[in-house]
Amino acid sequence: MHDGCAGPSADGKAMADKVRMMGFAAMPMPAPLQITCSNCGSDFEMIRFEASCPDCRMTYAVTPCSADDPAKVKPAGIDY
């Protein structure tokens, strides 16, 4: 059964896995988000539901239901 956007909102790896499983990881988001990397502090624009910091390669993910809120974007790990 499909549970939509419900699920692991606090765990970045589980969120990245969910976005990948749903087939949204490479899809463009409705509107880009400005993200400050929690690992290296660089700012970058997140344009897909899964993205990596261009400076340190920290992977970030967000579900489509939460794509309008930068606070819902979670780090999953470097090169995850």
Give the pLDDT band of residue 37 (cuts 50, 70, 90). very high
- Residue 27 near residue 40, CB atoms below 8 Å: no
Asked if residue 6 is part of any domain, the answer here is: no
Q: What is the pLDDT of residue 2?
A: 47
Q: What is the pTM of this model?
A: 0.89
- Predicted confidence (pLDDT) per residue in 47-66, tens digit: 999 999 999 999 999 999 99
Extract the runs of DSSP E, i.e. beta strands, from the chain. 28-36, 43-48, 50-52, 58-61, 74-78
Q: Which domain holds residue 51?
A: 12-78
Structure tokens at 59: 């992977």
Number of domains in the chain: 1
Between the CA of residue 80 and those of 1, 4, 16, 17, what are the distances in Å?
26, 22, 8, 10
The answer to whether residue 54 is domain-embedded is: yes
Instruction: Answer whether residue 32 is part of any domain.
Output: yes
The 10s digit of each residue's pLDDT in 2-23 is 455 655 567 899 999 999 999 9
pLDDT exceeds 90 at position 43: yes
Mean pLDDT within 28-37: 96
pLDDT of residue 1: 35
Return the bridge partners of 50, or none. 61
